């Protein structure tokens, strides 16, 4: 008498599940954490990184620290991949405070020429933050240049906390956490001049009615040139927004709140 056997479809399904479990188990074993670098190993090292990293074509990592460095005002650093899985850190710039920026808290971006751009939350000639550029030089390392110091006029943004976004024409876009016409933050654009230097333009000041307030994060840009971002506060219920900025004629921009976050309170009754 032939023993009862499971149907072929069951056997096939079980085999697939076994393969998936083995693959998952293999990935779980392989995904072990490895400490690449601990800050503070030397006296002038950076400290307290708050932002994410970016990667170059050679696999090196770049980032910022909000503290530490030669002047204790923050740094831009590079982690270089070495043979045998080792990493070496190099400080590309130590912020000095004063006219130079201080306390960068955002990620960096590259342009097509390999230059780095970022923001500092404080410092600059008006003590309200900066946009800076780091340019690689063959003999002198990296040269830092402050492209713009915030707080130069009434209604200007102050205290940028986010990184920058670059469009196809080389314009930089970003947000400031404070400042603007209503002291609730801004979206700004930096436009390179043909003769050198940069021109700043506030595209939107937050805090108008049920508008958002205090944007804390970077922007993204779509193929049509529209900008999208988030505001930490404000909105219809005061819990922040998602917004869109659309370019209009004569250099104007129109802001639209796409979503206002809300918090619904749920009352959980004790069992009877």
pLDDT (average), residues 144-155 = 97
Mean pLDDT over all residues of the chain? 89
**Pairwise CA distance, residues 143 & 133, whole Å:** 8
**Pairwise CA distance, residues 211 & 229, whole Å:** 13
pLDDT of residue 32: 83
Taken in order 17, 21, 23, 24, the sign of the CA dihedral is positive
Q: Could you tell me which residue, 22 or 148, shows the higher pLDDT?
A: 148
Could you read off the pLDDT of 95-135 as tens digits, one per residue? 999 999 999 999 999 999 999 999 999 999 999 999 999 99
Spatial CB neighbours of 175, under 8 Å, sequence gap ≥ 6: 157, 160, 161, 162, 185, 186, 187, 188, 215, 216, 217, 218, 219, 229
**Pairwise CA distance, residues 118 & 110, whole Å:** 9
CA distances to 43, 175, 207 from 180, rounded to whole Å, are: 38, 11, 9
Percentage of the chain lying above the pLDDT 90 cut: 77
Q: Which residues pair with 188 in a beta bridge?
A: 174, 202
Spatial CB neighbours of 200, under 8 Å, sequence gap ≥ 6: 148, 152, 156, 188, 189, 190, 191
pLDDT score of 13 more than 50: no
pLDDT of residue 138: 83
**Strands, E assignment, 32-185:** 46-47, 54-55, 61-65, 67-68, 75-81, 87-94, 101-102, 109-110, 116-120, 122-123, 130-137, 141-149, 157-158, 165-166, 172-176, 178-179
pLDDT score of 88 more than 80: yes
pLDDT of residue 102: 98
Could you read off the pLDDT of 14-57 as tens digits, one per residue? 444 444 454 555 555 567 888 999 999 889 999 999 999 999 99
Indicate the range of 82-91, 164-173, 223-232, 234-243 predicted with least confidence: 82-91
pLDDT of residue 33: 87
Q: Sketch the domain layout of the chain as residue ranges.
A: 37-149
pLDDT of residue 7: 52
Q: Which of 200, 176, 204, 205 has the alpha carbon at shortest distance from 189?
A: 200
Global pTM? Answer: 0.85
Alpha carbon 248 to chain centroid, angstroms: 26
Q: Which of 174, 182, 190, 181 has the alpha carbon at shortest distance from 245?
A: 174
């Amino acid at each position: 008498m032939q023993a009862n056997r499971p149907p072929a479809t069951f056997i096939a399904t079980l085999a697939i599940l076994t393969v998936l479990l083995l693959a998952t188990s293999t990935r779980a074993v392989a995904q072990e954490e490895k400490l690449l670098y601990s800050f503070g190993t030397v006296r002038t090292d950076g400290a307290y990184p708050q932002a994410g990293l970016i990667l170059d074509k050679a696999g090196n990592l770049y980032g910022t620290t909000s503290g530490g460095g030669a002047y204790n005002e923050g740094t831009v650093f590079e982690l270089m991949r070495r043979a045998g899985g080792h990493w070496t850190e190099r400080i590309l710039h130590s912020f000095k405070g004063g006219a130079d920026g201080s306390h960068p808290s955002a990620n960096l971006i590259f342009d097509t020429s390999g230059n780095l751009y970022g923001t500092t939350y404080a410092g600059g000639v008006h003590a309200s933050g900066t946009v800076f550029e780091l340019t690689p030089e063959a003999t002198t390392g990296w040269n830092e240049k402050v492209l713009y110091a915030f707080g130069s006029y009434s209604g200007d943004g102050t205290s940028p906390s986010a990184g920058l976004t670059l469009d196809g024409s080389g314009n930089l876009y970003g947000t400031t956490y404070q400042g603007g016409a209503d002291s609730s933050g801004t979206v700004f654009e930096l436009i390179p001049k043909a003769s050198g230097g940069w021109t700043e333009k506030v595209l939107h000041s937050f805090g108008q009615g049920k508008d958002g307030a205090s944007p804390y994060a970077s922007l993204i840009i779509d193929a049509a040139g529209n900008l999208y971002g988030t505001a930490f506060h404000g909105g219809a219920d005061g819990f922040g927004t998602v917004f869109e900025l659309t370019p209009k004629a004569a250099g104007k921009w129109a802001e639209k709140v796409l979503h206002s976050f809300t918090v619904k309170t749920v009352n959980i009754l004790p069992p009877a």
